[in-house]
A and B are shown apart, each in its own frame.
Chain A
Amino acid sequence: MMDFQRIKPHLPWLTLVVLTAFVGIANPTFLAPSNLLMLAGDIVPLFIMALGLTFAIYIGGIDLSAQSMANLVTVIASIYLASMGAFVAVLCVLAGFLFGTLSGVITTKLKVPSFISTLAIGGVAFSLAQWLSGQKALFMDASQRDASFGWMIGRTGIIPNELFLAAALLLLCLFIERRTVLGRALKAVGAGELAAAASGLNVARYKILAFALSGALAAIAGLLFSVKLSGGAPTIANGFLLPAIVAVLVGGTPLTGGVGGVLNTVIGTLIVAVIRASMLYFEIDATRQQMVFGLVLIAAIALTIDRSKLRVVK
Chain B
Amino acid sequence: MYQLKAVDKKFPGVHALKAVDFEVKRGEVVGLVGENGAGKSTLMKVIYGAYQPDGGEISIDGRAVHFANPRQAMEQGIGMVFQEQSLIPNLTVMENVFLGQEAQFVRFGVINRRAMAAATRRQLAKVKLDIDPGMVTADLSFAQRQLVELAKVLTLEERVEGDLVILLDEPTSVLNREEVELLFGLVRELTSRASFIFVSHRMDEVMELSDRIYVMKDGQVVDVVTRGASDVEAIQKKMVGRSVDKEYYREPRQKPYDPSRVLVEMDRVRFPGRAAEVSLKLHAGEVLCLVGTEGSGREAVLRTIFGMRTPLAGRVSIKGREVTRFSPRNAVEQGVGYVPRERKIEGIVAGMSVYENMTLSQMRRYSGAGVLRTGEEKALARDWIKKLSIKAHSEFADCGNLSGGNQQKVVLSKWRSGGSDIMLLDHPTRGLDIGAKEDVYDMIRDMSDDGVGVVLVADTLEEAIGLSHTILVLKDGVIQQKFDGAPGAKPTLFDLLHYMI
Cross-chain contact B356 with A187 (CB below 8 angstroms): yes
Asked if A83 lies at the interface with its beta carbon under 8 angstroms from chain B, I say no
**Counting CB contacts under 8 A, is A33 at the interface?**
no
A10 interface residue per 8 A CB criterion: no
Q: Which residues of B contact A191 (CB under 8 A)?
A: 349-352
- Over the window 322-366 of chain B, the binary record of Cβ atoms lying under 8 Å from chain A Cβ atoms (1 yes, 0 no) is 000001110111000010101001111111100010001101100
Q: Would A198 and B340 be within 8 Å (CB), given that A181-B370, A181-B372, A188-B349 are in contact?
A: yes
Q: Which residues of A contact B364 (CB under 8 A)?
A: 181
A196 to B357, CA, bound (A): 9
Say whether, besides A195-B348, A196-B360, A181 and B414 are in contact (CB < 8 Å).
Answer: no
Contact A199/B350 with A180-B371, A181-B367 known, Cβ cut-off 8 Å: no
Give Cα distance in the complex from A258 to B331, angstroms. 26
Which of A179, A184, A188, A200 contacts B331 (CB under 8 A)?
A: A200
Q: In B346-403, which residues have CB < 8 Å from any A CB?
A: 346-352, 356, 360-361, 363-364, 367, 370-372, 374
Residues A195 and B328 in contact, CB atoms below 8 Å apart: no
The smallest C-beta distance from A202 to any residue of chain B, in angstroms, reads 6
Q: State A195–B414 Cα separation when bound (angstroms).
A: 12
| Chain A residues with CB below 8 A from B374, complex form | 179
Is there a chain B Cβ closer than 8 Å to A168's Cβ? no
Is A188 a contact of B329 with CB atoms below 8 Å? no
Q: Which of A189-235 contact B (CB under 8 A)?
A: 191-192, 194-202
Contact A197 to B345, CB < 8 A, known contacts A181-B370, A184-B363: no
Smallest CB separation, B400 vs chain A (Å): 9
Choose one: B306, B332, B346, B352; the contact of A187 (CB below 8 Å).
Answer: B352
Interface size of B by CB at 8 A reads 30
The answer on a CB contact under 8 Å between B347 and A198 is: yes
Contact B372 A199 (CB under 8 A): no
A202: nearest chain-B partner, CB-CB? B329
Q: What is the bound-complex CA distance between A16 and B348, given in angstroms? A: 34
- In the assembled complex, the Cα of A197 lies from the Cα of B340 at a distance in Å of 11
Chain B residues, Cβ within 8 Å of A199? 328, 332, 360-361, 414
Which listed residue, B333, B338, B351, B367, touches A198 by the CB 8 Å rule? B338
Count A-B pairs with CB separation below 8 Å: 77
Residue of B nearest to A200 (CB): B332
Residue total for A at the interface (Cβ-Cβ under 8 A)? 21
Tell whether, in the assembled complex, residue A194 and residue B346 are in contact, meaning their CB atoms are under 8 Å apart.
yes
The majority secondary structure among interface residues of chain A is helix
Question: Which residues in window 202-240 of B have CB below 8 A to A?
Answer: none
Interface SS of chain B: helix, strand, loop or mixed? Answer: mixed
Bitwise interface map of A from 158 to 201 toward B, beta carbon under 8 Å scored 1, else 0: 00000000000000000000011110110110011011111111
The residues of A that contact B414 with a CB separation of less than 8 Å are 199
Question: Cα distance A227–B347 when bound, in Å?
Answer: 49
Report the Cα distance A181→B308, complex, angstroms.
Answer: 22
- Contact (A195, B329) CB under 8 Å given A179-B371, A201-B360, A258-B351: no
Residues of B within 8 A of A296 (CB): none
Determine whether A263 belongs to the interface, using a CB cutoff of 8 Å to chain B.
no
Contact A195-B331, Cβ < 8 Å, known A180-B372, A182-B370, A184-B372: no
A109 to B350, alpha carbons, bound, how many Å? 26
The answer to whether A195 touches B370, judged by C-beta atoms less than 8 angstroms apart, is no
A195 to B331, CA, bound (A): 15
A200 touches B329 (CB 8 A): yes
Query: Which A residues are CB-close (under 8 A) to B332?
Result: 199-200
With a cutoff of 8 Å between Cβ atoms, the chain A residues found around residue B346 in the complex are 194-195, 197-198
CB pair A192 B348 closer than 8 Å? yes
Indicate if A259 sits at the interface (CB-CB under 8 A). Answer: yes
**A residues near B347, Cβ cutoff 8 Å:** 195, 198
Residue of A nearest to B340 (CB): A198
B348 nearest in chain A by CB position:
A195
Contacting pair A197 B370 (CB below 8 A): no
- A200–B361 alpha-carbon span in the complex (Å): 6
A196 touches B349 (CB 8 A): yes
Q: Which residue of A lies closest to B366 (CB)?
A: A181
With most chain A CB atoms within 10 A of its CB, the pick from B332, B347, B351 is B351
CB neighbours (8 Å) of B338 from chain A are 198
Which 10 A-B pairs rank lowest in CB-CB distance, beginning with the nearest?
Answer: A200-B332, A192-B349, A191-B351, A199-B361, A198-B346, A199-B360, A200-B328, A195-B349, A181-B363, A194-B346
Query: 5 A-B pairs, CB-CB below 8 angstroms?
Result: A188-B360, A194-B342, A195-B360, A197-B308, A199-B332
Given contacts A179-B372, A184-B356, A185-B363, 17 further A-B contacts (CB under 8 A): A179-B374, A180-B370, A180-B371, A187-B356, A188-B360, A191-B352, A194-B342, A196-B349, A197-B308, A197-B328, A198-B308, A198-B338, A199-B328, A200-B328, A200-B331, A201-B329, A258-B351
Residues on A lying within 8 angstroms of B by beta carbon are 179-182, 184-185, 187-188, 191-192, 194-202, 258-259
